[in-house]
Structure 1
Amino acid sequence: MTIKEQLFDEIESTPEDLLQKTLDFLRLLKTKPTTNQINTTVTTVSHPAQSTGRSLLEHLKTIGNWEGDDLEECLEIVRTTRSQAKFDQPNPFDM
């Protein structure tokens, strides 16, 4: 019997509330980064650029000013298309 078949057999006799927790956990596992991804991230983060306040200010001087007439249009698009954050849903991972 395959693992998938064993899971189906267990699902048949599992209460609904436990199925919900199992589904949440499975989704968490599927989105969790792999060990290889974690090692890559740690390696990348372990050598940050040595920026100073002065170097950041010098960089800002090279960026320049906003040029164009579409700033208000861009801001309006952002305001009308962004989604509202909802914090009224219970966290499925709180036990």
Structure 2
Amino acid sequence: SRNGKRSKTVVTDIGPVEIDVPRDREGSFEPQIVKKRQRRLAGVDEMVLSLSARGLAHGEISSHLAEVYGADVSKQTISTITDSVM
């Protein structure tokens, strides 16, 4: 209870969501829903792959996510997501 917490922004299907992550000094806690160092949920990966399969360029996908969901996803992140499939 004395460890405190920090805020973390996670990109989701509905846009960026800010969550409070409790600190764990001993490193014994393993989160179940949002893993350690995870910045986006699986639905975002599927959306990026779907848009890429439809022929959109990485810049177009980035601007689409920013316009529709308010999520700032870089072209490098989109490349990482699409490369993980290959």
Q: TM-score, normalised by structure 2?
A: 0.20
**Which structure exhibits the higher relative contact order, with contacts defined as CA atoms closer than 8 Å and separated by 6 or more residues?**
1
Q: Which structure has greater strand proportion?
A: 2
Work out which of the two has the higher radius of gyration on C-alpha atoms and give 1 or 2.
Answer: 1
TM-score (norm: length of structure 1): 0.19
The structure where helix makes up a greater share of residues is: 1
